[in-house]
Amino acid sequence: MSDAVAAEGQDAVSRSFEPVRLSDYRPPDHLIDTIDLVFHLEPTATRVMARMAVRRNPAGTAPADAPLVLDGDADSLTLTSIRLDGEPLDENRYVTDDSSLTVQDVPETFVLDIETRIDPQANTELSGLYRSGGIYCTQCEAQGFRRITYYPDRPDVLAVFTVTLMGDRSSCPLLLSNGNPVDRGDAGPDRHWATWHDPHPKPAYLFALVAGDLATLTDTYTTRSGRAVTLNIHVLPRDADKSAFALEALKKSMKWDEDRFGLEYDLDVYSIVAVPDFNMGAMENKGLNVFNTKYVLARPDTATDSDYHGVESVIAHEYFHNWTGNRVTLRDWFQLSLKEGLTVWRDQEFSSDTGSRAVERIKAVRRLRSVQFPEDAGPTAHPIRPDSYIEINNFYTPTVYEKGAEVVRMLHTLIGDDAFTRGLKLYLERHDNGAATVEDWLAAMQEVSGADLSHFKLWYEQAGTPRIGVEESHDAANRQLTLTITQETAPTPGQPDKRPLHIPFSIGLLDPSGRPLPVTIDGDAANAERETAVVSLTRARQTVVLNDVPENAAVSLLRGFSAPVNLAPRGRERLLFLMAHDPDTFSRWDAGQDLMSGILIDHAATIRDGGTADLDDRVIEAVERIVSDETLDPALVAEMLVLPSETDLAQHIRPIPVEAIHAARTGARSRIAARLRDRLVSRYQALGGPSADANLDAAQMARRALKNTILALLNADTTDATGRDLAAAQAENATTMTDSIAALIALNETDGPQRDRHQAEFLDRWRDEALVVDKWFSLQAMRLSPATVEAVSALRGHDLYARTNPNRVRSLIGVFAAANPVAFHRQDGAGHRLLAEEIKAINRANPQLAAALTKPLTRWQHHDATRAESMKSALRDISAIPDLSRNVFELVKRGLDDADANGDARPPA
Ligand code: TRP
Ligand code: ZN
Neighbouring-strand partners of residue 84: 87, 112
The 10s digit of each residue's pLDDT in 612-641 is 999 999 999 999 999 999 999 999 999 999
Report how far residue 279's alpha carbon sits from residue 292's, in angstroms, rounded to the nearest whole number: 8
- Give SS3 for 229: strand
**pLDDT reading at 497 higher than 70:** yes
Whose CA is closest to atom 7 on ligand 1?
141
**Mean pLDDT, to the nearest integer, of 847-874?**
98
Whose CA is closest to atom 13 on ligand 1?
280
In the DSSP assignment, the letter for residue 277 is: -
Question: Mean pLDDT across the chain, nearest whole number?
Answer: 96
Report how far residue 845's alpha carbon sits from residue 248's, in angstroms, rounded to the nearest whole number: 36
**pLDDT reading at 13 higher than 90:** no
Q: What is the pTM of this model?
A: 0.97
The 10s digit of each residue's pLDDT in 347-382 is 999 999 999 999 999 999 999 999 999 999 999 999
**Mean pLDDT, to the nearest integer, of 327-348?**
99
Q: Which atom of ligand 1 is nearest to the CA of 396?
A: 7
In the DSSP assignment, the letter for residue 495 is: B
**Mean pLDDT, to the nearest integer, of 526-543?**
97
More confident residue, 751 or 288: 288
**pLDDT reading at 543 higher than 80:** yes
**Mean pLDDT, to the nearest integer, of 851-872?**
98
Per-residue pLDDT band at 692 (split at 50, 70, 90): low
| Residues with Cβ within 8 Å of residue 579, at least 6 apart in sequence | 588, 591, 592, 595, 622
Q: Which atom of ligand 1 is nearest to the CA of 292?
A: 13
Per-residue pLDDT band at 908 (split at 50, 70, 90): very low
HEC per residue, 287-303: CEEEEEHHHCCCCCCCC
HEC per residue, 175-204: EEECCEEEEEEECCCCEEEEEEEEEEEECH
- Phi and psi angles of residue 371, each rounded to the nearest 5 degrees, phi first: -115, -40
**Euclidean distance between the first and final Cα of the chain, in Å?**
26
Q: Which ligand is nearest to the CA of 137?
A: 1
Annotated catalytic residue 890: no
Report how far residue 347's alpha carbon sits from residue 336's, in angstroms, rounded to the nearest whole number: 16
pLDDT of residue 15: 62
Read out DSSP for 668-694? Answer: HHHHHHHHTHHHHHHHHHHTTTT----
**Residues with beta carbon inside 6 Å of ligand 1?**
139, 141-142, 278-280, 282-284, 317-318, 340, 396
Read out DSSP for 570-613? Answer: PPHHHHHHHHHH-SSHHHHHHHHHHHHHHHHHHHHHHHHTT---
Report how far residue 732's alpha carbon sits from residue 671's, in angstroms, rounded to the nearest whole number: 27
**pLDDT reading at 283 higher than 90:** yes
Distance 159 CA to ligand 2 centre (A): 21
Q: Cα-Cα-Cα-Cα dihedral of 445, 446, 448, 450, to 10°?
A: 150
- Catalytic option among 318, 349, 360, 639: 318
Percent of all residues in the chain with a pLDDT value above 90, rounded to a whole number? 95
Distance 318 CA to ligand 2 centre (A): 6
Q: Which ligand is nearest to the CA of 340?
A: 2
Per-residue pLDDT band at 4 (split at 50, 70, 90): very low
Report long-range pairs for 764-769 (Cβ below 8 Å, ≥24 apart): 766/302, 767/800, 768/238, 769/302
The 10s digit of each residue's pLDDT in 252-277 is 999 999 999 999 999 999 999 999 99
pLDDT of residue 626: 97
Sign of CA dihedral 412, 416, 421, 426: negative
Cα angle 445-450-453, degrees, rounded to a multiple of 5 = 60
Q: Which ligand is nearest to the CA of 125?
A: 1
Write the Ramachandran bin of 226: left for phi over 0, alpha for psi from -120 to 50, otherwise beta: left
| Residues with Cβ within 8 Å of residue 793, at least 6 apart in sequence | 834
Mutate-to-test residue for ligand 1 from 396, 400, 887, highest number of ligand atoms within 8 A of CB: 396
Q: State how beta strands 94-96 and 100-103 pair.
A: antiparallel
